[in-house]
Amino acid sequence: MDKIAKLAELIAQNTESDGVLETAIPRLSVIRISKPTEPLHAIHQPSVCIIAQGAKQVMLSDQIFRYSPGRYLVVSADMPVTGQVIEASEDKPYLCFRLDLDMKLLSDMLVEMPHAFGSSASPCKCVGVCETTQEFLDAAIRMAQLLDRPDEIAFLAPLIERELMFRMLRGGQAEMIRQMLAPESRLQQVNRAIAWIRQNFAAPFSIEQVATEARMSTSSLHQHFREVTAMSPLQYQKQLRLQEARRLILGNAMDAATAAHSVGYDSPSQFSREYRRLFGAPPIKDIARLRSEPAHYAQA
């Protein structure tokens, strides 16, 4: 059995039904989806995702990242993306190993590995896909095997997680991770802007205010924010508002007008127009669709 097939077997053993399963290993989730999904809009947290079976595409603005067995996805910032499982079936479900990034661990490792800091001043994208090495797969398999040996998790999972991060720092998306943590890199500055907007997205703000928080000029913020995220700061804010409103309507049974006001919309009609533009249907129809077949729209 090759290593990809072994990882798929381990994920299948720990996912009895479709969905995202948080495991006993900190930050590790395993995912199973048994048919292609509709596009799902979500905030993707910093993580590394290894597909063991099936295929998926992630859309960031007008950029499309496709990955399948033998490739992995890295996301280095909280990003509003559209994810869609494009290959899956009952016999061969989509299976994914997802590890959320521990920023403190990565920061500590980069202090210990000063040569790992990149020298490029050009900002990296915050989403990337690259080939999975055999060493990276070995570590992922050993981590997944711990799910059947829960008494070993506390001792061995941190060591294997550290190895996975080491392999990632030596892999095809290493420069993104290095810049994400390097002091005063362009990616670090954009991440500061992203963090501030996430905390204040429901309130009006000026670009000058965001630039001050990011420690950039307004022109530099506009240029590098778009280079990194494929959208402007205001477009990023709009995506956050709409996705939070959707979550409130779906998860908290809040009516659309109340949800719109809570995320910063003064005009219900404007909210409805922008909601339909992003999600493909007005709030009432969209939420009814989500509730009718939740697995079909599952975050994967």
pLDDT digits over 17-75, tens only? 999 999 999 999 999 999 999 888 888 999 999 999 999 999 988 889 999 998 999 99
The CATH number that applies at residue 31 is 2.60.120.280
Instruction: Clarify whether residues 176 and 291 are in a common domain.
Output: no
Residue 149 has pLDDT above 90, yes or no: yes
Residue 114 has pLDDT above 60, yes or no: yes
Instruction: Clarify whether residues 48 and 152 are in a common domain.
Output: yes
pLDDT digits over 87-104, tens only? 999 999 999 999 999 989
User: Per mean pLDDT, which range of 6-20, 117-131, 178-192 is the poorest?
Assistant: 117-131
pLDDT digits over 211-256, tens only? 999 999 999 999 999 988 889 999 999 999 999 999 999 888 899 9
Contact of 140 with 7, CB cutoff 8 Å = yes
Mean pLDDT of 110-129: 69
Instruction: Clarify whether residues 204 and 143 are in a common domain.
Output: no
Would you tell me how many other CB atoms lie within 10 Å of the CB of residue 115?
5
Instruction: Clarify whether residues 16 and 62 are in a common domain.
Output: yes
Which residue, of 181, 196, 218, is where some domain finishes?
Answer: 181
Mean pLDDT of 286-300: 70
Instruction: Clarify whether residues 190 and 293 are in a common domain.
Output: no
Instruction: Clarify whether residues 95 and 193 are in a common domain.
Output: no
Instruction: Clarify whether residues 15 and 101 are in a common domain.
Output: yes
Instruction: Clarify whether residues 264 and 291 are in a common domain.
Output: yes
The CATH number that applies at residue 256 is 1.10.10.60
Domain total of the chain: 3
pLDDT score, position 299: 55
Instruction: Clarify whether residues 90 and 227 are in a common domain.
Output: no
Residue 138 has pLDDT above 90, yes or no: yes
Instruction: Clarify whether residues 120 and 214 are in a common domain.
Output: no
Instruction: Clarify whether residues 117 and 246 are in a common domain.
Output: no
Instruction: Clarify whether residues 131 and 222 are in a common domain.
Output: no
Q: What is the pTM of this model?
A: 0.86
Which residue, of 166, 181, 196, is where some domain finishes?
Answer: 181
Domain hosting 72: range is 3-181
